[in-house]
Structure 1
């Protein structure tokens, strides 16, 4: 396996960056997809800044968000990976997975999540990853539970009660 390529039965994951701008901007502008994201939808310039920041994270830390693509067609499915988190006390790394609406319900989030987490323990310097999910995002909570995350106490984040989850690396 290439150090910067993850593969599963149906997916190929590559570091998310500026070359993915058209597809990421479409993902970030979809209200149905982004209703659970911190800050909601994003315009193209904001998407470009996010992708540039993700590229910097990959260069400096060796981890970040991955572009999730269909292994057979190369079609963009979404993003999955890690980002810095400052909203949860004691947390430094957040697991995140955002899948395009046309790809919901096909198991891509769990498949990408498993690959990212398996690979991520070798990239991350810590043994703990967090995730934050709005209360009404049932699918997000179910996916985290399937991936082995444990639900902690809810916290007020950006003025809203959020589910906080964590996953501890097993040695």
Structure 2
């Protein structure tokens, strides 16, 4: 499946390209970005694999992650979308596409995550088979919890992810 382009007032969401790897690395190697995700900055190789995984999700699942680009500058500033990581958490989570978002810290607090995810969720409601989506958020990640609530996610439980207690949220 081709990655659909989504456009908002300030953003363009489209397919990742090989040229995005260095910006992806700049984002995912930032300790502030990974603080509540894995705690470990990504290597360049891991970012290349991530971009390949993004493309693979679209190819195999007909959904995936978009590159988020600021309309005014054209700069790649983050990733939003859905994935299926085969996490084996259980039926309250595993059967739903897993939503996620990450942005370069220079663009935090501008409402871009809300804007991008609102577009992505609108797309998912009109295109995807299930209207239900899930996400995982570290309890300490107050910014993502605030965003998830704004987007309509609600906490339904907790599960260990990489041996760390993590909240399970559901929307739909």
Normalised by the length of structure 1, the TM-score is 0.90
More displaced stretch, 134-143 vs 46-55: 46-55
Task: Tell me, yes or no, if the aligned pair for 1:66 and 1:80 is still in contact at 8 Å.
Answer: yes
Partner Cα separation in structure 2 for residue 69 and residue 113 of structure 1: 13
1:154 aligned to 158, 161, 168, which one?
A: 158
Structure 2 residue 127 is the aligned partner of structure 1 residue 126: no
Segments of 5+ residues of structure 2 without an aligned counterpart are none
Equivalent positions of 1:100-139 (< 5 A) are 100-139=104-143
Tell me how far 1:82 sits from its aligned partner: 0.5
Q: What value does the CA root-mean-square deviation take over the aligned residues?
A: 1.7
Structure 2 residue 153 is the aligned partner of structure 1 residue 144: no
Task: Tell me, yes or no, if the aligned pair for 2:31 and 2:39 is still in contact at 8 Å.
Answer: no
Q: What is the total number of aligned residue pairs between the two structures?
A: 167
**What stretches of structure 1 move > 6 A for 4+ residues in a row?**
none
Corresponding residue for 1:84? 84
Segments of 5+ residues of structure 1 without an aligned counterpart are none
Equivalent positions of 1:15-94 (< 5 A) are 15-38=15-38, 40-87=40-87, 88-90=89-91, 91-92=94-95, 93-94=97-98
Partner Cα separation in structure 2 for residue 82 and residue 134 of structure 1: 18
Partner Cα separation in structure 2 for residue 94 and residue 40 of structure 1: 21
Task: Tell me, yes or no, if the aligned pair for 2:33 and 2:104 is still in contact at 8 Å.
Answer: yes
Tell me how far 1:61 sits from its aligned partner: 2.1
1:130-157 CA-partner distances (Å, limit 9, x unpaired)? 1100011001000000001111122222
Task: Tell me, yes or no, if the aligned pair for 2:3 and 2:58 is still in contact at 8 Å.
Answer: no
